[in-house]
Amino acid sequence: MKTTIDLTQFAPSQELDLHERVGSLPNVLSQRTRELKGRIANAKAVTSLCCYCAVGCSLLAYVSDDGTLLDVEGNPESPINRGHLCPKGSAIFGFTMNDQRWTTVKYRAPYSDRYEERPLEWALERIAQLVKETREKTFAREWTNPDTGEKRRVNHTLGIASLGGATFGIEENYMLGKLMHSLGVVSIENQARI
């Protein structure tokens, strides 16, 4: 489609602002281009944290009035990343606002050769049941030293281990630590510690 630009809308070059000129010539912006606004123009910037590794880069998450995420970028005020993000951090917006994102769980039953789709709530309930059953079977109040026969109170389970990924934020890791210690789990590890 042919677009005609009305050059008469521009005032003589000496009266134009700098950004309205290209060298000594008027910058021939259409009215539509002049009125365009960035998609984060009126968005609220919320400080957040990249969830992918122990570096802990700071983010600015731009949200609209109704809470929709509009964009994510590095926070230039962070002494850790100074506004930069690696490819994983840069892709957070695309991962988050993605209609192909999985919202169900792929479950493979014992001895099955295929995965089944299950709701997230179902998976959480199953995990809770298995943790409860395993803890009840393996919880030990005392440990006996095999060399001396001395007994010590331990109140722990060696039947459950916790391995956290760096996709956990600070608060999630805090809650996970509290939960595992209160269950008596002693084998606790997290990629963020490494």
Q: Which residues bind ligand SF4 (CB under 6 A)?
A: 50, 52-53, 55-57, 81, 85-86, 88-89
Q: Which is nearer to ligand SF4, 64 or 96 (CB)?
A: 96
Taking the complex as a whole, the smallest distance from the CB of residue 41 to ligand SF4 amounts, in Å, to: 25
Which residue, 52 or 180, has its beta carbon nearer to ligand SF4? 52
Least Å distance, CB 167 to ligand SF4, is 10
DSSP 81: T
| Residue 76: CB minimum distance to ligand SF4, A | 14
Query: Quick check: 84 and 74 in contact, CB under 8 A?
Result: yes
Q: Are 166 and 189 in contact (CB under 8 A)?
A: no
* Minimum distance from residue 52 beta carbon to ligand SF4 (Å): 3
Buried b (16+ CB within 10 A) or exposed e, 85-104: beeebeebbeeeeeeeeeee
26 bridge partner residues:
21
86 vs 186, beta carbon nearer ligand SF4: 86
How many other C-beta atoms can be found within 10 angstroms of the C-beta atom of residue 12?
Answer: 7
Beta-bridged to residue 121, according to DSSP, are none
Nearer residue to ligand SF4 within complex by CB, 81 or 157: 81
